[in-house]
Amino acid sequence: MTNKKITIKDGQTDNEIELPVLDSILGPNVVDIRALEKNLGYLSHDPGFIATSSCESKITYIDGNEGKLWYRGYPIEELAEKSNFTETAYLLLNDKLPNKSDLNDFFKSISSNYNVDEQIKDIINIFGKGSHPMAIMSACLSLLSAKYHNEIDIQNKDYRYRSTIKLIASVPVISAWILNSIMQRDFQNTSENLSIAENFINMAFPDLSDDQKELSSRAMDVIFLLHADHEQNASTSTVRLSGSSETSPYAAIAAGISTLWGPTHGGANEAVINMLEEIKNSDKDVEFYIEQAKDKNNPFRLMGFGHRIYKNYDPRAKIIQKIAHEYLAKLSKDNPNKPLFDIAMKLEKYALEDEYFVSRKLYPNVDFYSGIVLKAIGIPQSMYTVIFALARTVGWVAHWNEMIEDKNFRIGRPRQLYTGNKKTKYTDISER
């Protein structure tokens, strides 16, 4: 904390209060307003918590103006180039990169927990054809929450570690089984010698050639890494708020999954493919849709462009753009998805060169490219958000652990600006 303070004066009573300013290592400093109500009788009002720091965190740093995303101080570009999802998961959880022994032990801990409860398959089979996979995933996490309910001991570090590892290992296996069900395949077995990405691809697409499995696993590993965490977004904040009641970590993650499901959060990459399909099936060319997007009175919007946080190029998009181009280059010319990808590349060209998009910084974001890569791999659209949840589980459990270890840990309890009726006298129904 700095010695700097901000003075707030009540214009009606002339009372005033000094509020301390808390230092941020990077980014804006924060005004601690906790004494505001006690001393002046006021609350702050911030719909959507857009200008509110809800917690202290050391996990992820984002600078939207500069287009920076760092995990534990490591730029995402370096991690994507030199690291992998398993090592990055260790970093997010432990605040350091592992040595060879650490990484080997961590991998064994995860892979030995691939043996997910067989009852999960029964839950998946209960859901009818057309059920959304995110609803199925949420139900599966609720089953695990029920199964491990008697073990809850969140103040116990060993319990938290066991739960963390089980979640990181279980969600990818459950995701693969859900995909098996959607594609009407038998539930596939896990392989303890494979990484999370390799195991997922092997279970999801058992009939692929070894070369294609390797190619798809590499692409999927990068997608997982890029989506592992993104600071205090809606789903992460939900996991923290849910977990603050000391509920089961499985229940807290299920709450995060439900939040991520929304189309303005995790469902954006699915919307990208829907848009591309609309353009492909139209008798209009790409230029027609570009002009529609420029018309503020036209309801059409280009999905996968721009970002609420990044006012510059989303650093994840630059990385996955390269992956997308490399992956698509290896597809045969008669691949049925090629027309869709051709449209995507034309849209990308406009976004990077057209003054309208450049001046407004409407660059392609990570959802634009991840949707394209997932489509190329063969993942059904309804599964895109499940893939997101699979990766983000690492970030969620990292924040859950950090929250519990925080000296200021307490149950979350946002306040409100009440605008309803004043005290109203009850009248008997015969008199109304």
Catalytic positions, written as ranges: 307, 367
Measured between alpha carbons, how far is 184 from 134 in angstroms, rounded to an integer? 17
Residues in the chain: 432
Measured between alpha carbons, how far is 101 from 108 in angstroms, rounded to an integer? 11
Calculate helix-pair angle for 366-377, 210-226, nearest 10 degrees: 160
Q: How many C-beta neighbours within 10 Å does residue 71 have?
A: 24
Query: Which residue is it, tokens 């994507």?
Result: 80
Q: Is 55 helix (H, G, I), strand (E, B) or coil?
A: coil
User: Looking at the DSSP assignment, which residues form a beta bridge with residue 70?
Assistant: 61, 75
In terms of Cβ atoms closer than 10 Å to its own Cβ (0-12, 13-18, 19+), residue 123 is: buried
Q: How far is CA 365 from the centre of its chain?
A: 14
Measured between alpha carbons, how far is 134 from 337 in angstroms, rounded to an integer? 25
- For every residue of 370-399, DSSP letters joined together read HHHHHHHHT--GGGHHHHHHHHHHHHHHHH
Query: Which residue is it, tokens 């462009």?
Result: 305
Measured between alpha carbons, how far is 93 from 95 in angstroms, rounded to an integer? 6
Closest CA to 224 of 328, 96, 379, 348: 379
Q: Is 60 helix (H, G, I), strand (E, B) or coil?
A: strand
Sign of CA dihedral 263, 269, 272, 274: negative
Strand order of the β-sheet with 60-63 is 60-63, 68-71, 74-75
In terms of Cβ atoms closer than 10 Å to its own Cβ (0-12, 13-18, 19+), residue 254 is: buried
Say if residues 242 and 250 touch (Cβ distance below 8 Å).
no
Measured between alpha carbons, how far is 87 from 123 in angstroms, rounded to an integer? 31
**Which H or E run contains 242?**
helix 234-243
Residue 404 CB contacts under 8 Å (≥ 6 apart), including other chains = 154, 155, 160, 243
Q: How many C-beta neighbours within 10 Å does residue 50 have?
A: 7
